[in-house]
Amino acid sequence: MSDTLLSVRGVETYYGNIRALAGVDIDVKRGEIACLIGANGAGKSTLMMTICGDPQARAGTITFEGEDITRLPTHRIARLRIAQSPEGRRIFPRMTVYENLQMGASLDNLKYFDEDVEKIFTLFPRLKERQAQRGGTLSGGEQQMLSIGRALMARPKLLLLDEPSLGLAPLIVKQIFDAIKILNKEQGLTVFLVEQNAFAALKLSNRGYVMVNGKVTMSGTGMELLANPEVRAAYLEGGRH
């Protein structure tokens, strides 16, 4: 058995008649951090959601641990331990921080909740202070931490993060990227992340992909892409570092 955890092959996704993904190939290996960079509207979020079956791919296949998940409904995909912190964070606004975390632990019926929630509170102490507060009243940074924390509560084998740094102050971005690094190093968590903050993301990642107009145009190790002149010109120089 190979060490490929997630494999995306020739995936096409449509919104109505508009093709947002035009044949995407991506591999994420067990234990690595992979990232996907690309301009606004390239189709990055669409890929993240297509992996989770919402919307479903119209063509191509997605396999997870060797199993074809292309046609599975979203909740069944989640039950295979693919957790996502989606674009826009999608915190349940009228649930408390604590309840949002409980929702993350739905898969195991809260079996490991007490133990896991302590880990989340160690990772993001801010959430502990805010646990009784309603999700909708959190700041952007706190919501991002909650969104990641909630995804982690599912004990994922694969963690999908869609722009965890979007709209956050540099200090909080650093805190979140540090947290991702720790989870990967210490627990061997596999992470697939989408970022506009290309520099930080590529530095963190073992493998990177560049998406343009619904297609992957370049791939390589994080270091290779960082050194690539085209990538530098398009996503790094003059971009947000």
Partner 1 sequence: MEYFIQQLVNGLTLGSIYGLIAIGYTMVYGIIGMINFAHGDIFMLGGFAALIIFLVLTSVFVGLPTVLLLLLMMAAAMLTAALWNWTIEKVAYRPLRGSFRLAPLITAIGMSITLSNFVQVTQGPRNKPIPPLVSSVYNVFGISISLKQIVIVVLTTVLLTVFWYVVNKTALGRAQRATEQDRKMAALLGIDVDRTISITFIMGAGLAAVAGTMYLMYYGVVVFTDGFIPGVKAFTAAVLGGIGSLPGAVIGGLLIGLIESLWSAYFTIDYKDVATFSILAIVLIFKPSGIFGRPEVEKV
Ligand X SMILES: Nc1ncnc2c1ncn2[C@@H]1O[C@H](COP(=O)(O)OP(=O)(O)O)[C@@H](O)[C@H]1O
Give yes or no for a contact between 144 and 172, defined as CB atoms under 8 angstroms apart: yes
Per the structure block, which two tokens stand in for 41?
Answer: 């509207």
Report the DSSP beta bridge partners of residue 218: 210
> Site for Mg ion (CB under 5 A): which residue of 12, 25, 65, 87?
87
Q: Which is nearer to ligand X, 38 or 156 (CB)?
A: 38
| Least distance between partner 1 and beta carbon 43 (Å) | 18
- Residue number closest to Mg ion, CB atom: 45
State the distance between the two ends of the chain, measured CA to CA, in whole angstroms. 38
Cβ distance 164 to 144 under 8 Å?
A: yes
Q: Is 210 helix (H, G, I), strand (E, B) or coil?
A: strand
Distance CA 61, CA 12 (A): 9
Binding residues for partner 1 restricted to 130-159, rule: CB under 8 A = 150, 154
Partner in contact with 38, chosen from ligand X, partner 1, Mg ion, none, beta carbon below 5 to 8 Å by kind = ligand X
Alpha helices in the chain (DSSP H): 44-51, 74-79, 97-104, 113-123, 125-129, 140-152, 170-187, 198-204, 222-227, 229-231
* Residue from 58, 71, 94, 241 in contact with partner 1 (CB under 8 A): 94
Q: Alpha carbon 22 to chain centroid distance?
A: 20
**Interacting positions 18-77 with ligand X (CB under 6 A):** 18, 20, 38, 40-46
Using the rule CB under 8 A, which residue among 6, 42, 97, 107 binds partner 1?
107
Select the residue interacting with partner 1 from 9, 19, 30, 90 (CB under 8 A).
90
- Measured from the Cβ of residue 58, the count of other Cβ atoms closer than 10 Å reads 13
- Verify binding: residue 106, partner 1, rule CB under 8 A: yes
Given the complex with partner 1, which of 90 and 128 has the nearer CB atom? 90
Helix (H) or strand (E) holding 61: strand 59-64
**Residue closer to partner 1 (CB basis): 38 or 53:** 53
Q: Which residues sit at the interface with Mg ion, rule CB under 5 A?
A: 45, 87
Q: Which residues sit at the interface with partner 1, rule CB under 8 A?
A: 52, 54, 73-75, 78-79, 83-84, 86, 90, 92-95, 99, 102-104, 106-107, 109-110, 150, 154
